[in-house]
Homo-oligomer: A and B are copies of this chain.
């Protein structure tokens, strides 16, 4: 585990993840802000958002910072770390750890755009350097 130990890896649920997205996007937010921010994708009541936020706080995935009346919430885990962990999980689970197999599946499913292909080639060239 060479990287910064990724904190106490408590799983983040789907709904919780949507909240994290909002937080990663727009720095420190109040519960109401988050509610508005995710309003597009999910139609949650403020109460729901507050529940998700407290759960994330217990999981130490976000930290609170008092701001007079209310709290401002800030992600405690980097989006990069989370995304990395999740990707790895999937690759391990579904493809025996072989990322190439994942790509093969996406390819077979025609799930790759020309841009995707271009970018991946660029990436691989970079890696090979």
Task: Point out residues on A near B: beta carbons under 8 Å.
Answer: 3, 17, 80, 83-84, 86-88, 90-91, 93-95, 98-100, 102-109, 111-112, 115-117, 119-121, 123-124, 126-128
Taking CB atoms, residues of chain B closer than 8 Å to A86 are 90, 94
Looking at chain A's contact residues, the main secondary structure is helix
Taking CB atoms, residues of chain B closer than 8 Å to A17 are 93
Contact of A127 among B87, B99, B112 (CB under 8 A): B112
Taking CB atoms, residues of chain B closer than 8 Å to A84 are 105-106, 108-109, 111
Contact of A91 among B100, B111, B117, B126 (CB under 8 A): B111
Taking CB atoms, residues of chain B closer than 8 Å to A98 are 115-116, 119
A101 nearest in chain B by CB position: B119
CA distance in complex: A22, B128 (Å): 36
CA distance in complex: A13, B119 (Å): 33
Contact A127 B105 (CB under 8 A): no
Contact A107 B90 (CB under 8 A): no
CA distance in complex: A32, B115 (Å): 48
CA distance in complex: A87, B86 (Å): 11
CA distance in complex: A123, B100 (Å): 8
A106 to chain B, nearest CB (A): 5
